[in-house]
Amino acid sequence: MSLQNQVVSSLKTLMDPMSRLNIIEAGILQGLNITESGNVSFILELNTEYMKNGISLKERATALLEKIPGVTQVQIALTAQRNPKANNKVQKRVPGIKRIIVVGSGKGGVGKSTTAVNLACAFQTMGLKVGILDGDIYGPSLPRLLGINQKPTSEDGKTINPIEAHGLKCMSIGFMLAEKMPTIWRGPMVQTAFQQMLRQVNWGLLDILVIDLPPGTGDVHLTLAQTVPLSGAIIVSTPQDLALVDARRGLEMFLKVNVPILGLVENMSYFLCPHCQGRSEIFEHGGVHKEAQELKIPLLAEIPLHMSIRESSEKGIPLVQDQPASAEATIYRQLAHQVNELVASK
């Protein structure tokens, strides 16, 4: 096992007194760094109430890590949490935004961003006022998917105007920075950037804000769920088993933080031939359906693997706008209708 893995598994044995999750899952451990010489450093972000426990947590972590061969030095900084956790019910709404829906997936490359932008466009065609926020700080995809290459403006230097495109109000860190972020960015910086994009953007009045979450179940997810009321989460998965295992992890995380799961979307569900319109079940079909039944959550849509979906994305015009009459656009609109009904009834 690599030193990094040994350190992480050791740290996972320690509990966050607040959320009762381990300190990694709880998202209170930030900026873990392990140097070649074996110097391990990180920050523990604790709720002020628990700062006292923090000192013993720090001692326990130090003792555990020092036992690992190869660890030469342990440096842990304790900081008071800026973002209070959900359990003490201090979620703060974003003024003007009626509902926030997050689109998540256990892993990347399953078509989460594609689904999020098309869903947002489909809401817009229903006459709703819609915003879309790119939750991926390291690998933002909205600039490409929405064909946006202009920088947002700010009148007062404090708040940012979102970019308006395809009838949506759009925000992504990618509008402000080069496409790929250097991974030197650490937890706290990512959190700050994300919270600013959520709260310091002039969204105006929105019926729905769709957030395209980064893949997996990291800090951004937890902090988001804990700091703002979310109307629900949609989990995107592909039919392969591996993706399902990941999707399950995503589900569990939302359940832990009490975010209603609206349902699963199976993407790249089957192949629709652009020439003959014939349908081929490339992957064993029905896996997501079965999983959804077992987990007692609705399967909201089965989206085919179709050239036109990828081609529209590459053009920077979501398919729902680019080819509104296509069968796939209809699927996205049906998805939007279902989701809208689900959140309206909650």
Residue 237 binds ligand ADP (CB under 6 A): no
Residue 105 binds Mg ion (CB under 5 A): no
Distances, alpha carbon 87 to alpha carbons 91, 113, 191, 221, in Å = 9, 29, 19, 15
Residue 172: which of Mg ion, ligand ADP, none does it interact with, CB under 5 to 8 A by kind? none
Residue 233 binds ligand ADP (CB under 6 A): no
The interface region with Mg ion, picked from 106-114, 147-155, 276-284, 288-296 by CB under 5 A, is 106-114
Residue 70 binds ligand ADP (CB under 6 A): no
DSSP assignment, residue 317?
S
Name which of residues 293 to 322 contact ligand ADP (CB under 6 A).
303, 305-306, 309-310, 313
- Per CB under 6 A, the list member of 29, 43, 74, 110 interacting with ligand ADP is 110
Classify the C-alpha dihedral 187-119-315-169 as positive or negative. negative
Residue 119 binds ligand ADP (CB under 6 A): no
Residue 213 binds ligand ADP (CB under 6 A): no
Q: Are the C-beta atoms of 116 and 210 separated by less than 8 Å?
A: yes
The interface region with Mg ion, picked from 28-36, 135-143, 260-268, 276-284 by CB under 5 A, is 135-143
Residue 141 binds Mg ion (CB under 5 A): yes
Q: Are the C-beta atoms of 124 and 130 separated by less than 8 Å?
A: yes
Interface pattern 88-107 for ligand ADP (x via CB under 6 A): -----------------x--
Assign 20 to helix, strand or coil: coil
Residue 122 binds ligand ADP (CB under 6 A): no
Interface pattern 59-98 for Mg ion (x via CB under 5 A): ----------------------------------------
**Rounded Cα–Cα distance for residues 113 and 214 (Å):** 9
- Per CB under 5 A, the list member of 113, 217, 227, 313 interacting with Mg ion is 113
Give one DSSP letter per residue of 256-299, joined into a string.
Answer: HTTPPEEEEEEEEEEEE-TTT--EE--SPTTHHHHHHHHHT--E
Residue 112 binds ligand ADP (CB under 6 A): yes
- Residues in contact with 27: Cβ distance below 8 Å, sequence separation at least 6, in sequence order: 187, 218, 219, 222, 223
Name which of residues 137 to 196 contact ligand ADP (CB under 6 A).
141
- Per CB under 6 A, the list member of 31, 84, 108, 298 interacting with ligand ADP is 108
Q: What is the dihedral of CA 228, 230, 234, 235, to 10 degrees?
A: 40
Residue 109 binds ligand ADP (CB under 6 A): yes
Amino acid identity for residue 49 in this structure: E
310 vs 337, which CB is nearer to ligand ADP?
310
**Rounded Cα–Cα distance for residues 24 and 246 (Å):** 17
- Which element (helix H / strand E) includes 6? helix 3-11
**Rounded Cα–Cα distance for residues 119 and 121 (Å):** 5
Task: By CB under 5 A, name the binding residues for Mg ion.
Answer: 113, 141
Task: By CB under 6 A, name the binding residues for ligand ADP.
Answer: 105, 108-114, 141, 267-268, 303, 305-306, 309-310, 313
